Chain A
Amino acid sequence: MATIRTRSRTREMLLRLSAYLAILVALILTLFPVYWIAANSFKFDIDIFAVPPEWVPRNPTLKHYDEAFIQRPFLQYALNSFLVAIGTTVISVTFGTMAGYALARFSYPWQWRKQISFWILSTRMMPPIVSIIPLYLFFNYFDMLNTKSALIIAYTAFNLPFATWMMKSYFQDLPVELEEAAVVDGDTRWGAFLHVALPLARPGLAATAIFCLIISWNEFLLSLVITLTEQSQTLPIGIAGRVTQYNTYWGEISAAGFMACVPIVIFAFIVQKHLVRGLSLGAVKG
């Protein structure tokens, strides 16, 4: 008996140890590339190309931050990204929440609910590359190329279905009785949605908004095609523009790339609870 217990305890210890080791390896692999881009952003060009590599910047410099944000319009790009991401998120979450609520709570004639739900999801399946040419011509026709509004409209097409589905599954998880009670107490249906359901769905709203923000902040392909001017281009395009046929401006790219990650990561840490909860309730239950 005693020997068995010792053996299983040793086994448990070994198991635990190898698990920690595996997690440690995963952490290193996850963080190293991020560290590397940060480290390079603080090195002089000559040190970026050093062989063997400089694991820690020896002569740290802010030169590339100056290049990217003072001499080149990366601040403008970041501002564009920010405005487009906020605009898209507000529109997608507002309308997506309303539609999600309607699909979760109301009944429609002729099986419409199921058909519409599925159709909305299927619009998300369309690869962006498919709709690019028509959207390009569409914006060209309305003289909207190189505008932030065009980007907001285009991104909404991809975020709205997602927001609708997330919010629909949230509302389905909420007990309907509370809204019924509000209606019995004299509130309208719209009032019950606004005063009862919406506050309860706040974690879902937060998670949905975070995902819309991340997706729009990071989008590349649509922005690449729709915008060509400094006043309208987003950060990803600005960064990609520094990989040219003749030269790749590693330092500047690292500085801009690192700065593009920072707001999202800070944001993610602030809302990390909602992030995990949001997905566990929303996407998972379909």
Chain B
Amino acid sequence: MLKSDKDTSAKSLRRGGGLEHWAERHLRYLMLAPTVLILLALTIFPSIYMFYAAVHRISPNPDLPWEFVGVGNFARLLSDPQFHVALRNTVVFTLVAVALEFLLGLGLALLLDRFIRRLSFLKTVLMIPMMLPPIAVAITWKLIYEPQFGVLNEIMFLLGLPVQAWAGDVNLAMFSIIVADVWQWTPFVFLLMLAGLASLPVEPYEAAALDGASSWRQFWDLTLPFLKPVIAIALLLRVMDALRLFDLVFILTGGGPADRTKVLSLYIYQVAYRFADPGYAAAISLFVLFVTIVLSTWFMKRMRLAE
């Protein structure tokens, strides 16, 4: 808080001006108001609506009234095999993709930070994937994975490795999605880590070098602890995004083959639009929202991220 808060009001009081004075005195609320009002309108309304929809059976025919079903839609979750598949796929995707992105992003940042500090344009080049429209990324990888004329199979062939159907193969589809996601989002982790490394203090390292600590020890005992807040932010943002994966799956596999890449967002989309069952879709959405908020709140508290 500004120490001179009160002085200000007194000054403008002296200067007079009714409305101006009022605005200045309530500045703290006026500056916050647009954001709070917009977010209230755009999030509270959908949330209330979702709760309302989730306890009803909604007919695709808009003239028919909604039928109250209580917790019926939520009970359906328990025995819906498609939902279980989507949940498992989402968890697998999130764990594997985020872990790979984290390891590769951190490794790459450490390499660049230690060996080529000056070539900053290289950093920007390495960040290109995260700036591309995910839809363009999805289509690029679709082209690369294409079984007949795709370039990946050509490379496999040149290397004497077996040719695969990639995104179309039951066992490789999820792997293909993960590779494309890792390609697009490792740069984001890389960028955050690079920023974190740039703000490391120098003195502890000098002391450690004097003590003869190996670079491995320095990494474990100094770098990692210093980077902890950045790592926490990177993981939080990537997990939140991985849980809502949609574009890649929508274009690359459409959830197939045999539902192997059907993730929660895609399932909600299908339930709402293809199966025309918005009430049930609302129930699944609420489940996803609930899990995301519980997970991130727990994580933020643990990492002491929110002040």
Contact = CB atoms under 8 A, between A and B. Distances in A.
A283 B233 contact: yes
Most buried by B among A20, A114, A260, A284: A284
B195 A188 contact: no
B136 A239 contact: yes
Contact of B246 (A160, A217, A221, A257): A221
Contacts of A123: 39, 42-43
B305 interface: yes
A260 B39 contact: no
Contacts of A120: 35-36, 39
Contact of B292 (A125, A217, A218, A264): A125
A103 to B, nearest CB: 7
Interface residues of chain A: helix, strand, loop or mixed (majority): helix
A275 B188 CA distance: 11
A105 B134 contact: no
B115 to A, nearest CB: 4
Report which residue of B46, B126, B251, B285 has the largest number of chain A beta carbons within 10 angstroms of its beta carbon. Answer: B46
B307 A114 contact: yes
A129 B42 contact: no
B143 A250 contact: yes
Given A114-B306, A189-B24, A189-B27, A280 B196 contact: yes
A127 B264 CA distance: 11
A261 B140 CA distance: 12
A156 B39 CA distance: 9
Nearest to B303: A286
Contacts of A240: 135, 139, 250-251
A37 B198 CA distance: 33
Contacts, number: 306
A129 B2 contact: no
A90 interface: no
A253 B139 CA distance: 8
B50 interface: yes
B133 interface: yes
Contacts of B195: 276-277, 279-280, 284
Interface string B164-201: 00000000000000000001000100011011101100
Contact of B127 (A29, A235, A260, A275): A275
Contacts of B191: 275-276, 279
Contacts of B106: none
A26 B132 contact: no
B289 A126 contact: yes
A19 B110 CA distance: 10
Contacts of A101: 31
A50 B306 contact: no
A189 B137 CA distance: 46
**How big is the B interface, by class?**
35 or more
A50 B148 CA distance: 10
Contact of A164 (B35, B240, B307): B35
A52 to B, nearest CB: 6
Nearest to A180: B4
Contacts of B307: 114, 117
B31 A98 contact: yes
Interface string A250-266: 10011001101100110
A97 B234 CA distance: 23
Contacts of A105: 1-2
Contacts of A23: 108, 111-112, 115-116, 122
Interface string A84-102: 0000000000011011011
A95 B4 contact: no
A126 B240 CA distance: 9
A19 B122 CA distance: 14
B173 to A, nearest CB: 17
Given A30-B125, A129-B288, A189-B24, A261 B132 contact: yes
A279 B76 CA distance: 43
B144 interface: yes
A111 to B, nearest CB: 11
A160 B142 CA distance: 33
B246 A220 contact: yes
A134 B125 contact: no
Contacts of A127: 243-244, 265, 285, 288-289, 292
Interface in B211-231: 229-230
Contact of B285 (A119, A130, A265): A130
A108 interface: yes
B46 A131 contact: yes
Interface of B: 1-5, 7-8, 11-12, 23-24, 27-28, 31-32, 34-36, 38-39, 42-43, 45-47, 49-50, 53, 107-108, 111-112, 114-116, 120-129, 131-137, 139-144, 148-149, 151, 154, 183, 187, 191-192, 194-196, 198-199, 229-230, 233, 237, 240, 243-244, 246-247, 250-251, 264-265, 268-269, 272, 278, 281-282, 285-286, 288-289, 292-293, 296-297, 305-307
Sort A-B residue pairs by CB-CB distance and give the 3 closest, nearest first: A280-B195, A257-B136, A99-B35
Given A160-B35, A261-B128, 19 more contacts: A30-B125, A33-B137, A33-B140, A37-B143, A50-B149, A53-B154, A125-B293, A128-B244, A179-B2, A183-B2, A184-B7, A189-B5, A218-B135, A240-B250, A240-B251, A243-B139, A257-B139, A275-B127, A284-B230
7 contacts: A129-B265, A130-B46, A130-B289, A131-B50, A135-B46, A160-B35, A275-B191
